[in-house]
Amino acid sequence: MQPPRITDSHCHLDFPDFAGELDNIIARAQQVGVQRMVTICTRLRQELDVRRIAETYAPVFYAAGTHPMNANKEPMATVNELITLAAHPKFVAIGETGLDYHYTVESAEVQKQSLRIHIQAAQATKLPLIIHARGADEDMAEILQSEYKNTPYSCVMHCFSSSPELGRAALDLGFYLSMSGIATFPKSQEIRNIFAAAPMDRILLETDAPYLAPPPHRGRRNEPAYSAFTAQVGADVFGVSLQEFSAQTEANFERLFWKAT
């Protein structure tokens, strides 16, 4: 039986962890049903390198933005810069952007400014926004809600592991929650409960590779093929078959990442 088709909606194939191995990494992903991958640029000066990966490999699409932990180290993006990059046919989302007060609270104001710029680019291009949120739930909810009132936009809460309150705020705006290897960890029952309470038609799959490998690979380098393990846990969380869960997450991905179809 062929494995169900799924998409790794968030990985970092340009990271040095994968240097010289992309042919094999992508082949292994496809062998287990991972038909598409979205590789994420986290510093705009590296956009060309990420773009070239997407241009080289048919199953790979890409997004670009300034990661919040880089916001104080990189030139501030502009809306026009992001809009120009978004014209590329394989550029499918804006980000990742967001707020991270766990490691970089000292740059909170710069992060907020960067986040709002990325939101404006998502509003202008109609491409989905990819959000990283850590330790900043209250500010994150306020900014997402206030900017949505100005002009609606679409969004995924990447690698969701925040509070039930932020999850509900995102879902109430019509946004999506992305399930990563974190949801598979034995001590992550609270996160699994948040997903279980969400509509299944708002769930995406991702690895965040090379980080957060699910069991049985936990503690080692993650790669897109391992999103298949997260898909099985997702199916268990929702009490459906792997085939049904995979088909639903594929439909969800194609609805949100409309350029990647």
Question: What are the sequence ranges of the domains in the chain?
Answer: 6-260
What's the chain's average pLDDT?
97
Position 232 pLDDT exceeds 80: yes
* The model scores a pTM over 0.75: yes
Residue 1's pLDDT band (boundaries 50, 70, 90)? confident
Cis before residue 216, ω within 30 degrees of 0?
A: yes
Architecture of 6-260 per CATH? Alpha-Beta Barrel (3.20)
| Whole-Å CA distances, 4 to 22, 57, 99, 239 | 22, 21, 34, 17
Residue 20 is classified by DSSP as T
- pLDDT for 106-156, tens place per residue? 999 999 999 999 999 999 999 999 999 999 999 999 999 999 999 999 999
User: Which residue type occupies 99?
Assistant: L
Q: Is the pLDDT of residue 261 over 90?
A: no
- pLDDT of 16 reads 96
